[in-house]
């Protein structure tokens, strides 16, 4: 798959945006399998970005187990590409660079499809490291390995029919319970788990996270959106109370001034 991404992005400056997007629709970002741009390859999902936001979009897959892997192990990030028509910023599917811990590529595990003891070095020989980086990889704006494109435009979401990832939740859980015995098996999950991406919020969400850590509040249990509402509500109450005190003080000052004049 890294080879496919490398092939496309290395030639992006020669491609019109529509052609570039078409090429990214032509393979599964989890398995690397070639795909037709047909309705049965389209899956609608909601994925978390590397900065904590959740967005919706379309991914293209060879089979339903790959949407399970996408939802459980993949994040999204932005990346600007120089196309034939100038720079374009896209949303991409990303995983953490497994070469941050290269020794894990040689750890043995049981292949759920064969029952044999194997390693990622054997099962995924294209995952090679070069000076601590995944060889041949392209990296997103926050430095993560790009494995495919996430189609987030409204026109992509309206391009029905497609499958909804939420319809596969029960099957995904069963597959996980059976050790990922379908699709890519455990290979993709193992690679993505070597260096999992921990979202790092920015802006107001980042401020909230830092504040919560100092206060011992576990924002993960509530979600950043709910916590932001909670914080803004507190500030709102304090704001109203402060305004009432100011008005009260002003009223007393005015009354006192009138008395002095009399």
Tell whether the model's pLDDT for residue 7 goes beyond 80: yes
DSSP code of 151?
A: B
pTM of the entire predicted model: 0.78
Tell whether the model's pLDDT for residue 182 goes beyond 60: yes
Largest CA distance in the chain: 99
Which residues are paired to 146 by β-bridges?
A: 94
CA 211 vs CA 48, 129, 234, 235, 259: distances in Å = 22, 38, 14, 14, 47
8 Å CB contact between 94 and 78? no
Question: How far is it, in rounded angstroms, from Cα 6 to Cα 150?
Answer: 17
pLDDT digits (tens, 9 = 90+) for 191-244: 999 999 999 886 555 555 454 445 555 444 444 455 555 555 555 555 565 666
Rounded to 5°, the CA angle 244-245-250 comes to: 100
Q: Which has more pLDDT, 221 or 2?
A: 2
pLDDT digits (tens, 9 = 90+) for 130-175: 999 999 999 999 999 999 999 998 777 777 689 999 999 999 999 9
Tokens 């596969």 correspond to 168
Q: Is it true that the peptide bond before 53 is cis, omega within 30 degrees of 0? A: no
Question: How far is it, in rounded angstroms, from Cα 12 to Cα 7?
Answer: 9
């Amino acid at each position: 798959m890294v080879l496919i991404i490398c092939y496309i992005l290395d030639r992006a400056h020669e491609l019109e945006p529509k052609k570039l997007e078409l090429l990214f629709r032509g393979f599964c970002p989890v398995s690397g399998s070639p795909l037709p741009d047909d309705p049965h390859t389209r899956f609608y999902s909601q994925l978390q970005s590397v900065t904590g936001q959740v967005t919706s979009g379309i991914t293209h897959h060879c089979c339903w187990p790959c949407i399970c892997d996408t939802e459980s192990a993949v994040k999204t990030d932005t990346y600007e590409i120089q196309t034939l028509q100038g720079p374009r910023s896209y949303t991409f599917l990303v995983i953490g660079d497994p070469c941050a811990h290269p020794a894990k590529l040689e750890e043995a595990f049981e292949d759920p499809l064969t029952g044999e003891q194997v390693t990622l070095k054997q099962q995924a020989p294209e995952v090679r490291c070069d000076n601590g980086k995944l060889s041949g990889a392209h990296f997103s704006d926050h430095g993560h390995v790009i494995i495919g494109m996430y189609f987030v435009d409204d026109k992509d979401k309206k391009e029905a029919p497609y499958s909804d990832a939420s319809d596969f939740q029960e099957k995904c859980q069963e597959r996980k319970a059976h050790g990922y015995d379908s699709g890519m098996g455990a290979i993709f999950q193992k690679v993505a788990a070597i260096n999992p991406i921990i979202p790092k919020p920015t802006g107001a969400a980042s401020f909230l996270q830092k504040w919560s850590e100092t206060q011992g509040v576990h924002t993960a249990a509530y979600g950043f959106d709910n916590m932001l509402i909670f914080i803004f509500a507190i500030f709102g109450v304090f704001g109203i109370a402060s305004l009432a005190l100011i008005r009260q003080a002003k009223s007393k000052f005015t009354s006192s001034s009138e008395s002095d004049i009399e």
